[in-house]
Chains A and B, each alone.
Chain A
Amino acid sequence: MAKATTTGAEGSALLRWIATSGLLLVVAVPCLFIIIQAIFPDIGSGSLAAPFSLFFRTLSDPDLFGLAGNTLLLGVGTVFFAALFAVPLAALRALFKVPGAIIWDALLLIPFMIPPYIAALGWIMTLQPHGYMEQVTGINLAGLIFSVPGIMIIMGLNTFSVVYFVLSRTFETIGARYSDVGRVFGAGQWRSFWRITFPLAMPGLAASLLLVFAMSIEEYGTPAALGRRIGFDVLVTGIENRISEWPIDLPGSATLSLVLVGMALVAFMIQRWLLTRRDYRIVSGKPQASDKRALGLWAVPVSLYFGFITFLATGLPILAILATALSRTISGGLTAENMGMDNFNELLGKGSEGLVALGNSLALGVSTALLAGLLGAITAYSVVKGRGRFRLVLDALSITPNSLPGVVVAVGIILAWNQPWLPITPYNTPFILLLAYICILLPQPVRYATASLHQLGDNLESAARVSGSGPLKAFIRIIFPLILPSMVTSMILVFAVASRELVASLLVAPIGFQTIAVYIWTQFDQGSAGLGMAMAFCAIMITTLIPLGLIGLLRWLSKGQVAGLN
């Protein structure tokens, strides 16, 4: 599919049209308004006065170097810790028979579902002096958590499962086939891993680490919760501060965003380049589970190691969330008389706001997943089938939101969709949230769909065309069903993130409309941390169980034939 020659079997013009207009509407319009805002400070009131007046002032702000430097530092540190956690686990998982492997996989999916700001709060409440850890064990790790390495470790724990899943699959494929060859030729188990398996997995590792880098430099929750305490500001918090502290500096935040976009785009370009060099035939092969070695005596320490990392990444934040949710008062601590279901009762009580927020978020999450999945698949298809400049523009547009902080997307969307001359606008309706979420999350399904399109043989579509099917029908009947399994995976991810998105939701949520994250935030704002945490716990459970149930159902329906879900 990658070949772009003069072909009689052009992709569907309708799909191309949908992809182009979809991307323009969802991505290009808000981006354009951010750039305009950075240049024309008064665009909000419809004036083009004083162009660039604030643009250069922000760029020459001495703070900028500090912010950019901290951002880089945080990105690199997070990548380091993510690799440290993920590589040994992935190698063990892929090359050996780890007891309960499927369960570890399922548990390691949960960090995706925990909102980072909630996880950070959980960590703080556990590790700070008189925190849950001190209440249980008598010691606290305040010195560790309120430090730059502490932020990196926590962000590493939040993100390493991305690396783990990519890498264990890569190792699985390579390990069985190639490292055995190395062993036949006399390399020991370790040497064969380091000399053959690991180098072959490098592109996959590098690509996933770059993704972690991009994720960490645009992450808001953790640096905001932890960094602020120690005066460690990064670009995203700088942007957020300019937007949320009086006096508001929209042009400044737009300018800083452009810096951040630049950094993330470089990371993504490198990742792209690595991925195009990567040999898909190696990576796309089916995992050969049968070749895994037994761990023997090592089964116990390895299981303990898996247990430890999983506990840090999943168990501890969830326990802290649950502990807070069950506490009647925070100052009451972990005592029996302070525990109760009060918060859950209030949250899930009949006709409560919490239930409405849950319903809203789930509906939005599902619609975002479906629409972003569909638009992502169509976009990836159009990019893969496209040629020349058109392809380049579409490709660039589809990855841009990856590097845009949610709050900037939100401002861009308000600027774009609240223009007085628009005859109809989704602004101030739930559809504006849908637009924002699709914009922020579109790169996920595009990435998954592109990878899986590259793995489809050219002739599958050709065969359909020769058999008399038009391009649209060939997409619907052949291409889409074949990439669906990996689309489902990405849509689950989109669902999980969309149903808990906070930063953009806070700003663009239509008047009087609550989502899970806005509800949680409001509770914290009113000092009802317990109620907020109860909602967070329910949301994590729901966003974890719905996809797991869905995967189980799909597996059952397809009797194990849908690849890519394990």
Chain B
Amino acid sequence: MTNSSQTALSIHSISMSYGANKVLDGIDVSLEAGKVLGLLGPSGCGKTTLLRLVSGLLLPDEGIIEIAGRAVAAPAKGIALPPEQRGLGMVFQDYALWPHMSVAKNVAFPLEMQRRSGAECRDRVAKALDRVGLGAMAERRPSDLSGGQQQRVAIARAIVAEPPLVLFDEPLSNLDRELRECMVEELSDLVADLNLSAVYVTHDHGEALTLADHVAVMRGGKIEQLACPDELVSNPATVAVADFLRLGCLLPADRNGDGWQVEGTSVRLPDGPVASAKSTLLLPERAMRLGSEGPAQFKARVLRAQTRSTGHALTLGIEGTNHLIRLVSAQRARIGDLIDISYSPEELRWFPA
């Protein structure tokens, strides 16, 4: 899976419409070999369409897609390689295992298509199945396996031919939560072990942040932000990104003579960098503490309190407003209590309104 070319995937100003509906609008993104690109966004944002464009199952209206330095789709030049000539591996949301073939036959299929010898096939299939922990299941039918096992087979099938790029289309969304968390870790190890170049589509930011080296947050057919996970969390580019990643509380703010305050209230805010009169403010959850020790504070009333395995999940209303804050605290709080919340002003993020 090591590739001489430095770029595993590059996408230049890709656009795509279904009739009058523009699904993708000028997408630019590229991926270094050995890295994982996460495509993250709500349903209908175009992430799956983008993945299908890369796979060749759809063709773009304009733009250029290159895989490992080779143009695979470029309508302007009349290039449109069908999926089978792009040398990919792909894991589908519904697994798409072929029910009439055994697990081993499913996994061997890509090798067969490359006309590898029988012995080589057997060897590599066994290796791939061992890697996903299903070495013993080779002769079973896919229908005899559990959901998690089926998805492992699908992963084995995608990596067995050591493709220069592996595509994951919401591979874990059909699994229940516990299994999903476990599979994310397994996948993450696998990707690292094999030094895979991969595109990983998901609507779950946890998966994207865990697995991807770079995450493209998409919305309405455009990329809102393309960054590494740390950067995304600490520096969301837009309100939408902050909202989608559930980074914390988004408050409308306005400047009122001498300083900033939450719009329509008298809750005062520290000075922001924004020059305009209005702004949207992100108060990140990780910047907030219960208590009054921090550099800035406000008061909030406890509206809901739930016990979680990781602490107490509180829903708070900022006193004097109807803005809600959610945070997990180690301390217990009673419903109806008015408590102090402190935060550090430098962790606030200001967005132009």
Contacts and interface: CB of A to CB of B under 8 A. Distances in A.
Contacts of B59: 6-8
Interface stretch (A145-153, A269-277, A350-358, A469-477): A469-477
A526 interface: no
Contacts of A467: 84, 89-90, 109-110, 113, 157, 161
Given A5-B58, A7-B59, A8-B56, A465 B82 contact: yes
A418 interface: no
A561 B141 contact: yes
A471 B18 CA distance: 23
B195 to A, nearest CB: 21
Most chain A CB within 10 A, of B81, B94, B99, B141, is at: B99
Contact of B57 (A9, A460, A469, A478): A9
A7 B58 CA distance: 4
A459 interface: yes
B113 to A, nearest CB: 4
Interface string B150-176: 000010010001000001000000000
A385 to B, nearest CB: 13
Nearest to B80: A8
A565 interface: no
Nearest to A465: B83
Q: Which bucket holds chain A's interface residue count?
A: 20 to 34
B82 A9 contact: yes
Contacts of B98: 460, 463-464, 478, 482
Contacts of A473: 113
A466 B90 contact: yes
Contacts of A10: 82
Interface in A415-473: 457, 459-460, 462-471, 473
Most chain A CB within 10 A, of B55, B87, B89, B157, is at: B55
A143 interface: no
Nearest to A459: B96
B84 A465 contact: yes
Interface string B69-113: 000010000001111101111101110111110000000011001
B163 to A, nearest CB: 9
A62 interface: no
Q: Which bucket holds chain B's interface residue count?
A: 35 or more
Contacts of A100: none
A362 B57 CA distance: 44
Given A466-B88, A481-B100, A482-B98, A5 B109 contact: no
Contacts of B73: 8
A462 B58 CA distance: 10
Nearest to A462: B57
Contact of B167 (A466, A477, A482): A466
A348 B84 CA distance: 56
Contacts of B110: 467-468
Interface in B119-158: 141, 143, 154, 157
A468 B57 contact: no
B309 interface: no
Contacts of B331: none
B94 A459 contact: yes
A459 B92 contact: yes
A9 B167 CA distance: 16
Contacts of B161: 467-468
Nearest to A464: B109
Contacts of A6: 58-59
B57 A7 contact: yes
A561 B144 CA distance: 11
B99 A482 contact: yes
Interface string A1-36: 000011111100000000000000000000000000
B114 interface: yes
Given A5-B18, A460-B98, A482-B100, A465 B56 contact: yes
A470 B73 CA distance: 17
Most chain B CB within 10 A, of A6, A459, A473, A477, is at: A459
Contacts of B94: 457, 459
Contacts of B57: 7-9, 462, 465-466
B82 A8 contact: yes
Nearest to A5: B18
Contacts of A8: 55-59, 73, 80-83
Contacts of A465: 56-57, 82-84
Contact of A463 (B58, B86, B92): B92
Most chain A CB within 10 A, of B57, B86, B88, is at: B57
Interface of A: 5-10, 457, 459-460, 462-471, 473, 477-478, 481-482, 561
Interface of B: 18, 55-59, 73, 80-84, 86-90, 92-94, 96-100, 109-110, 113-114, 141, 143, 154, 157, 161, 167
Top 5 A-B pairs, shortest CB-CB distance? A468-B113, A459-B96, A465-B83, A463-B96, A467-B110
9 contacts: A8-B81, A462-B96, A465-B84, A466-B56, A466-B57, A468-B84, A468-B87, A468-B113, A478-B98
